[in-house]
Structure 1
Amino acid sequence: MGQEEPRYQVVKDFIRKGIAGKQWKEHKRVPSENELVDMCKVSRMTARRALDELTEEGVLYRVQGRGTFVAPKKLHSPLLEIRNIAEEIQNRGAEYSNELLLLQKEVCPPHLLNRFALEEGQQVFHSIMVHKENAKPIQIEQRYVNPNAAPEYLNQDYKSITPNVYLSKVAPLTEAEHEIQAKEADPFMKVTLKLQELEPVLCIDRITWSENILVSFCQLYHPASRFSLTGRFKTQHQLTEL
């Protein structure tokens, strides 16, 4: 007699079957823990484990305070190729453009002081840019830059050169760390990225170093329906900052 399938696996199979059958389509909410308890006749702990594992596998994603949703297939890849967005768009045969919304020197935010090894009151460079493909916004880039690594950051013409290209020249990337998560879009993101109703954003928090100097802390926001991750990986010597 074969071993009985674990109950959490039964719940996972139930959700996967519902997704495959289009019962729950991309970006649609799947049943909550409490709903799964009733639907699958399992404990809440079992339902939570099933949702947690499917989220870790990239089948689902969570939006705080809203629930758990079906992830688009392009979210399944666990690795992200670090690349220059302007070059990427041009390689697709599309037209790249950007809109610079902010470029200034300001007091370093408290949560970044330790990362940049700065004292309270010291300043960093701060920029916000919208990257566009064929005039359609596909990414908001919010970047904090270490003045010690790129002292002329504020003096560049970012219509002809992107922050990525400039930083790559003056402080070549040797190490990068990133975190990817889905977030609920705020009003600024909804308007700027022209998001669909209830569409979340994918946020990439990226930290980059040149040798032992932290160069940049960057937050990249993408419309979930217009962004994909790749599974390609390069060694540190080949990395190019996004």
Structure 2
Amino acid sequence: MNERPPQYLKLKRHILRHINNGDWPPLSKVPSENELVSKFGISRMTVNRAMRELADAGMVTRTQGAGTFVAERKAESAMFEVRSIRDEIISRGQKHTVEILIRELVSARPVTARQFAMSTGTELYHSRLLHRADDEPLQLEDRFVNPVCAPDYLEIDFYKEIPHQYLMRTAPLQRIEHAIEAEAASKRLARLLAVEPGSPLLTLTRRTWSHDHVASYVRLSYPAGKFRFVGAFNAGDFKTS
């Protein structure tokens, strides 16, 4: 005979059903613990466990004195793919806008030069762009580009064709290397991404190769509260040594 699911799990499923069906949209208030205790005839401890697990899973947020609310869905990016932030934002039904902060020719400093296997002082193109989704900052893109692979980079109208789109067109991918890390927002990053200083950020650094040259080195920073990376792979895709 099948065992009946525990009460806290039944309550979790009830709440998730309302969230996933759109009955309770993001930022809407979830019934209070007292209301759930009364409606389901279960203990406060059971309700608290269900809410705690939903909060840990990022489905709801709990604010002392205010109550429990449906969490905002985070934007997602594929961890193992190189995708356009413009396409990702538009695919979610949001408006993409970009602000050009820096576009310049620079002499590579030692740390940057090493990323390109070049000598310090070698000329590189540098751009810094802020991408917004529905006018809310979502990604700060700080990119260095090898002029050999993308000679017209500084002439591109980034309002019409963002760097990713241009590079995919002119410097076909040969190899990709990237890393993801968490960091605390500096005052500068906090101002640009509209978060409090010290807030958690997710940062992806990526190098791409084209025609046997490092074509681009980019640092992409996102507010952790608005974004997450997702990915899936088959075990057979990776070999162990």
TM-score by length of 2: 0.63
Report the CA distance shift for 1:151/1:85 in structure 2 as closer, same or farther (over 3 A). same
State the match for 1:85 in structure 2.
Answer: 85
Q: Distance in 2 between matches of 1:20 and 1:174?
A: 48
State the match for 2:214 in structure 1.
Answer: 214
State the match for 1:97 in structure 2.
Answer: 97
Is the CA contact (8 Å cut-off) linking 2:98 and 2:130 kept in structure 1? yes
Q: 1:113 deviation in Å?
A: 1.8
Q: Distance in 2 between matches of 1:203 and 1:20?
A: 32
Is the CA contact (8 Å cut-off) linking 2:105 and 2:125 kept in structure 1? yes
3-state SS, counterpart of residue 229 of structure 1: strand
Q: How does 1:31-110 map to 2 (within 5 A)?
A: 79-110=79-110
Identical aligned pairs, as a percentage?
34
Q: 1:79 deviation in Å?
A: 4.2
Report the CA distance shift for 1:153/1:231 in structure 2 as closer, same or farther (over 3 A). same
Moved more, 105-114 or 215-224: 105-114
For the aligned residue pairs, the C-alpha RMSD in angstroms reads 3.2
Output one character per residue of 1:51-102: Cα deviation in whole Å (capped at 9) or x when no partner: xxxxxxxxxxxxxxxxxxxxxx98xx99443211101111111111100000
State the match for 1:124 in structure 2.
Answer: 124
Q: 1:200 deviation in Å?
A: 0.8
Q: How does 1:8-47 map to 2 (within 5 A)?
A: 22=52
Report the CA distance shift for 1:116/1:189 in structure 2 as closer, same or farther (over 3 A). same
Q: Distance in 1 between matches of 2:116 and 2:187?
A: 29
Is the CA contact (8 Å cut-off) linking 2:187 and 2:197 kept in structure 1? no
Matched, 1:231 2:201: no
Q: Distance in 1 between matches of 2:110 and 2:198?
A: 31
Q: Distance in 1 between matches of 2:50 and 2:205?
A: 31
Is the CA contact (8 Å cut-off) linking 1:171 and 1:210 kept in structure 2? yes
Output one character per residue of 1:89-137: Cα deviation in whole Å (capped at 9) or x when no partner: 1111111110000000011121122332322222101110001101111
State the match for 1:51 in structure 2.
Answer: none
Point out where structure 1 has 5 or more consecutive residues left out of the alignment.
1-18, 27-72, 235-242
Is the CA contact (8 Å cut-off) linking 2:176 and 2:208 kept in structure 1? yes
Q: Distance in 2 between matches of 1:83 and 1:188?
A: 26
Q: Distance in 1 between matches of 2:171 and 2:191?
A: 33
Q: Distance in 2 between matches of 1:88 and 1:185?
A: 23
**Higher Cα Rg, which structure:** 2
Decide which structure has greater strand share: 2
State the match for 1:14 in structure 2.
Answer: none
Q: Distance in 2 between matches of 1:104 and 1:110?
A: 18
State the match for 1:172 in structure 2.
Answer: 172
How many residue pairs align between the two structures?
172
Q: Distance in 1 between matches of 2:122 and 2:155?
A: 19
TM-score by length of 1: 0.63
Report the CA distance shift for 1:232/1:197 in structure 2 as closer, same or farther (over 3 A). same
Point out where structure 2 has 5 or more consecutive residues left out of the alignment.
1-48, 57-72, 235-241
Greater RCO structure (CA 8 Å; 6+ sep):
1
**What amino acid does structure 1 have at the position aligned with 2:157?**
D
Moved more, 139-148 or 196-205: 196-205
State the match for 2:113 in structure 1.
Answer: 113
Q: Distance in 2 between matches of 1:198 and 1:215?
A: 32
Is the CA contact (8 Å cut-off) linking 2:185 and 2:197 kept in structure 1? no
Q: Distance in 2 between matches of 1:215 and 1:197?
A: 32
